[in-house]
Structure 1
Amino acid sequence: MHHRPAAPAALPGVTAAPSRRLLLTGALAAPALALAGCSGSADGASAGGSLGTLEVNQNWIRTTEFAGEYFADSRGYYTGAGFTEVTLIPGGPSGTSSEAMVLSDSALVGMTTPLAAGSMVAGEEAPLVLLGAKFQRNPFTICSTSATPITTPVDLVGKRIGVATGTNEVLFNALLEVNGIDPADVERVTVQFDPQPLINGEVDGQICTLTNEAITVALAGLEAVNLPLADNGLPFVSGAFVTTVQNVAERREELKGFLAATVRGWKDALADPEESARLAYEEYGADLGLDPEKEQRQAEAQNQLVVSDETDSNGLFTISDELAAKNIELLALAGHEVDQDAFFDPTLLQEVYEENPDLLPA
């Protein structure tokens, strides 16, 4: 995801709908994780293993979504930071959430959204902290085709919209609420995550992501039209790094080592989307039968979500006070009161960049 314009750049075969910035409502978006390991070794300078082992909980299967982590693992950035062994724990449609993994000390850090972690902080008093976020903009979208294009929220009225159960239901409810659309005015069709119902014309639109299903639609030979949720009332970040208050206090150097190495990995991913894709389909996700062309397009698309004016100024993963406040507002409108200063802890990344100025944008 290279430098991000005000609206998502069009993917090959994909037309981005005009955006309009509205105010917010609550939604949860945290795919769950399965417990399976991917051990990494690397060529690179080692700090003598002073930080011990590293377990990182990811929130989806091993696609290009985690390209930066693959670079950091395969090129030795994690071992160079002082970790003796690295386990990247892949997720999937069902499994254990990053919140549960870090709370149980099964992982040092995991990936999630502020909405998922924040709801646990507010509802269960879970001692969770967000250190930064890979994706400055979340990738969720209402994908349609040129046959029945959905270019503004009001276009949803009278349409058949495919919605998978779970997270996508919450997101869709939030999208309707924030845009003042009566749910009774939209025909909701229960689907799986696969966009085949949209491709087949069984629905007029479907909750998808710009970095996955929308690409599948384009590869099927259709002109995909997107209504990004980030531009239409739900501007939450994604790929947020979650850990515990205790880890911040007691394992700070480990967390900083993870962040520094992962920044290095994502700098590589931004520079080389082709290699990002290859690492997914030939190495880390080799057993998944991934489509190389789709992974390449995903790498290019997601690079647009990683970089923003904020990261150009202050470094990858940083979240501006303004964007953090919007995420807190989103939580509040969902009924979850969370203290911004306690929930977002930018100090570790600040220290990482102070100690590693070479990681800052040139």
Structure 2
Amino acid sequence: MSTSQFSRRNLLAGAGLSVGAFALGSTLLTACSEPGRGPAGKGGGDGTPLALQLGWLINSGQFGEAIALSKGWYDDAGISFSINPGGPSIDGIALVAAGESQIGQISSSPSHMLARSQGIPVKAFAVCVQDHPYAWLSTPENPVEKPEDLVGKTVGGPATSDILVKALLAANKISEDDVEFVATGSSVAPLMQGKIDAWGTWLNSISQRRPLGDDFVSMRLADNGVPLYGYIYYSTDDVLEKKADLVKEFTSATARGWEFAYDHVEEAAKATVEMAPESKLKDIQDDGEDMMKYVFTKSTAEKGWGTMDASIWESQIKLWDQLGQFNSAPPTVDDLATWDILDATADSRPKLG
């Protein structure tokens, strides 16, 4: 299905797709108010325009882009680059599919899988967060250390995390009837007040869990049978076919940005805040420092920043299909991802981890 078959009106009003409901990035940064729809970062020069549509707000997930912009590396690559922030009322995938931005980034892979399964022609070409940091936090007085510890207990978090509870239970063969989920939002207060037994958040969201201190117990989805990808870069089938060279240049420049950010978190945080002045530098820097261990892993040490593993995509497809999340036939790995861009940029993507 070509991009030209989708109009903006059809995608936003008629697709019936609530991609944003699965974004899972709302817990990552609440210090920012929602910015306007205008570009947050803009490269100079007369390069080829390339806009990155985010699924959520600008945060530490844009360290690589912030550095590449500030250093002029997109300009050097012949790209006039800009970032379009997302937000709770913005369906980023639909906007990319409608051609308003050439590429996009979504915070967690379920959104991408659901979009493709509904016929929206988007495909991942790189992954930023290899080892997903989403976890359930609990207190030492009432620890939840393994999925079985959830039986008979109440789990809270953003409404979008309900499906993550179900995925965790399904992966560990625990009945949904044995665990109660309550939509408590992105605040840790209900956990601290004893109203819930475990609370869902991204572990690198230091600013959100700061009231809890360092004395807490965490149980990550990725360690318990739910291997999601985070901050996926994607584009349409049409762009990946007709503008592959542009996407390759973007990927190389962004990888260079992330390589620099790896050893210069403070500078990356400052560059990010310049793009999103509503955010707090300490929150961005703290979140970013913790995030590095999820971006750079054994996989990136071997295959470079942005790598993807077909078996991880396959396991996600199977689990979401088991949960009945696809209204039609589940997508295949080839539907969801292409390795052409990664292969073409293998020499320019840093092998760190």
Q: TM-score, normalised by structure 1?
A: 0.80
Superposed, which structure 2 residues align to 1:333-344 within 5 Å?
333-335=322-324, 336=326, 337-344=330-337
Give 1:178's match in structure 2, choosing from 158, 171, 176: 171
Contact 2:49 2:79 in 1 (8 A): yes
**d(CA) in 2 for partners of 1:216, 1:342:** 35
**d(CA) in 1 for partners of 2:248, 2:322:** 32
- Listed one character per residue, the Cα deviations across residues 18-68 of structure 1 (whole Å, up to 9, x for unaligned) are xxxxxxxxx9445589734213236xxx7x51xx21210122222222211
Instruction: State the secondary structure of the residue aligned to 2:135.
Output: strand
Q: Residue in 2 aligned with 1:132?
A: 126
Q: Residue in 1 aligned with 2:83?
A: 88
Structure 1 residues 345 and 73: CA distance shift in structure 2, 3 A: same
Q: Residue in 2 aligned with 1:65?
A: 61
**TM-fit CA distance, 1:199:** 3.0
Percent identity, aligned pairs only, is 25
**d(CA) in 1 for partners of 2:110, 2:302:** 25
Instruction: State the secondary structure of the residue aligned to 2:90.
Output: coil
Is 1:216 equivalent to 2:208 in the alignment? yes
Structure 1 residues 179 and 39: CA distance shift in structure 2, 3 A: same
Contact 2:155 2:182 in 1 (8 A): yes
Q: Residue in 1 aligned with 2:8?
A: none
Is 1:76 equivalent to 2:66 in the alignment? no
**TM-fit CA distance, 1:344:** 1.3
Give 2:276's match in structure 1, choosing from 264, 270, 285: 285
**TM-fit CA distance, 1:291:** 5.6
Is 1:327 equivalent to 2:329 in the alignment? no
- Listed one character per residue, the Cα deviations across residues 137-160 of structure 1 (whole Å, up to 9, x for unaligned) are 222111112221111111112222
Q: 1:243 is aligned with what amino acid?
A: S
Coordinate RMSD, CA, aligned: 2.4
Choose between structure 1 and 2 for higher RCO, CA contacts under 8 A separated by at least 6 residues: 1
- Listed one character per residue, the Cα deviations across residues 195-236 of structure 1 (whole Å, up to 9, x for unaligned) are 222233332211111111x65334543512211011112102
Q: 1:237 is aligned with what amino acid?
A: Y
**TM-fit CA distance, 1:347:** 0.8
Query: Mind listing any 5+ residue stretches in structure 2 that lack a counterpart?
Result: 1-20, 27-33
Q: 1:309 is aligned with what amino acid?
A: K
Aligned length: 319
**d(CA) in 2 for partners of 1:287, 1:242:** 27
Q: TM-score, normalised by structure 2?
A: 0.82
Q: Residue in 2 aligned with 1:257?
A: 249
Q: Residue in 2 aligned with 1:273?
A: 265
Query: Mind listing any 5+ residue stretches in structure 1 that lack a counterpart?
Result: 1-26
